[in-house]
Structures are given as structure tokens and as C-alpha cells.
Amino acid sequence: MASTHSRPGGDPAGDAHDAHADHSHGGGDLIGHAAHGHAGHSHAPASFGRAFAIGISLNLIYVTVEAVFGLRIGSMALLADAGHNLSDVLGLVVAWGGATLARRSPTVRRTYGLRSSTIVAALANAVFLLIAIGAIGWEAVGRLRSPEPLAGGTIAWVAGVGIVVNALTAWFFMSGRKHDLNIRGAYLHMAADAAVSAGVVVAGLTIAATGWLWLDPAISLGVALLIGASTWGLLRDSVHLALNAVPSHIDPDAVRDFLAGLPGVREVHDLHIWGMSTTEVALTAHVVRPRVEDEDALLVGVSRALRDRFGIAHATVQIERGNGPHGCDLAPVDVV
């Protein structure tokens, strides 16, 4: 039997080429055009260190200002938004930590390095948001029962500053939101905050014009609902990755069909696809292929095609002859 793999770190295209440089003369021919016409989905973790540093600094300053004015005028909307923004600061710190740890090199014990730190960070961000929802909702219900006088104009201009701060921070992470769940978590936090701050501005101006004190806690409940809507997808996807589920952008049946359709392959079993991090996908599979000619070339082509067609940058494929009297112990579908 034989196997091949592409390294998980760095540039997936460069890694696959370097790892199989000695066999590059025929790898693509056996696969033909299988990988052509499909946009690659493999993206190495990008560095957002500068974005995290600026975003955290801006939001810490704004949280302090918002909390001070919220306490001074007794605005539940400002205090709720300040609490949510504080949870976002913690979320940014966790996301930054996860992204930093994910770039560390593998060790003897941690053979994949700490790539899964980004999955943990995304899950932690979702939990932070759920806690914020509970706290905001609890306080808002209490204020609905007993509204207090508020300075609507002050609420509006303080929240207006928040629109600028949150929108700017969200813009820092916009380029990475489609390819990295960890960065997507940071982006969603900031984008939701910008929308929430806009709602608070409307509430403040309306209170100043009409005196409707109930609008302040009502907006707070709207904040909680908006956060909940943006959190659900992040929570679902991060839990799936934490449980080693197949990433949502990959069709496992299509991958199996692709492997089963390779030249000379009679069977595919023990197929596993999982996220090593929020940006990198790994695969292991056993393929039964009695013929032995051009084996190395086939493995090179498979690795490249899986990367280009499905975004699986770390593929390990084991070839079995299937000629002996005993089958593979991992062949049954109920065996992991």
C-alpha cells in the first residue's frame, strides 16, 4: 500500500508542488480536467494582527465612553450596548489569540500544531454573544416595567460615535469573513454593533422628540434579537467544526464520487473529512486499486485535484491492492 499527503501550513499550492516535485511530470494527466473549472476554496490563515490591535483599542475607548454616559444619564440602551461592546472586545481578544496560536509550528505532541485554536475561538465568541443576549434581555425587561427619565439627545450622539467605531472595525475584517470562521465571528460582532448603534441613535432622537421612555428598553430587546440572529450561524458552524464534522462548503458525497471515479479504483472506504482550523480542511481515505502502474503520479494528481476542486489542502490517501484474502479492518461503513 502507499499514501500521499499535502502539508497543512502555508501556501497550499506551493506545499503540494514542493512535496511532490520529484513526480510532477505526470500527476495531473491521470486526473485529467477533474480539477479544472472549479474555484479553489483553500485559504491559508491570513494575518489580521493590525486589524485586531486597532479594533480592540478603538472599542475599549468607546466602551468606556458609552458606559460613563450610560451611567450618568441612566440609559439602559447605552449600558446594554456598552456591555455588548465589551463582550466584543473579549471576543476580538480571543479571536486574535486563536489566530496567533494557529500559526505556531507542529510539535511531537501536537502534530497539527495549534490550528484548532481558531475553532475554539469562534465557539467562544458565540458563547460570549449568548451571555450578552441574556444580560441585555434581563435588564431590558426590568426597565420596561419601570421606565426612567432619559436624555435622548445624549443617547443619540454617543451611539452615533459607536456607528463609526464599529463600522470601521468591521471593515478591517471584511476581506477575511468568507474564508475564515474565526474572522467571520469578529466581523459579525462589529457589523451587528454598527447596526445596533444606528438603532440606538433612532431611539435617542425619538425619545428626545416624544418622551417615549419605553423605547429605550424596547430597543435593548431589539439589540438582543439582532445579536441572536447573527450568532446562530456562528454557533452552529463552530460547534460542527469542534465536533470534526465535514465543513459546510464541502459535499462529502461529491468527494467520495470523485475518488471512486479515479482510474482503476474499485472501492473507497474509511473516508474522513474535517476542519483542522477555521480555514484548513483535512481528508483521509482508503482506496482499493489493484493496478500498480503510475501510482505515484495518481497520488500527486489526487492531492492537487482535491485541493483545487474541493478546497482540501491536507489530503492523505492510502492505496490498497485488494488482492489478499483479508479485507481492510476499516472497510465497514460503521467502523471509524
CB 163 within 8 A of CB 191: no
Distances (CA, A) of 108 to 111, 113, 118: 6, 9, 20
pLDDT at 193 over 80: no
231-278: per-residue pLDDT in tens?
788 888 889 999 999 998 899 999 999 999 988 888 899 999 999 888
SS3 297: helix
161: left (phi over 0), alpha (psi -120 to 50) or beta: alpha
Distances (CA, A) of 113 to 98, 104, 307: 12, 6, 20
Q: Which three cell numbers stand for residue 324?
A: 489478499
Regarding pTM above 0.75, the answer is no
Residue 87 confidence (pLDDT): 73
Question: Which strand ranges, in their side-by-side order, compose the sheet holding 281-288?
Answer: 2-4, 314-320, 281-288, 267-275
pLDDT at 103 over 70: yes
Nearest Cα residue to 154 out of 70, 60, 217, 219: 70
Number of Cα atoms under 13 Å in the Cβ half of residue 144: 12
Domains of the chain (ranges plus CATH)?
2-41+249-320 (3.30.70.1350), 49-242 (1.20.1510.10)
136-173: per-residue pLDDT in tens?
788 778 777 777 666 667 777 777 888 888 888 888 88
CB 313 within 8 A of CB 42: yes
Following CA atoms 218, 222, 224, 226 in sequence, which dihedral angle do they give, to the nearest 10 degrees? -170
Amino acid, single-letter form, for residue 262: L
C-beta neighbour count of 40 within 10 angstroms: 14
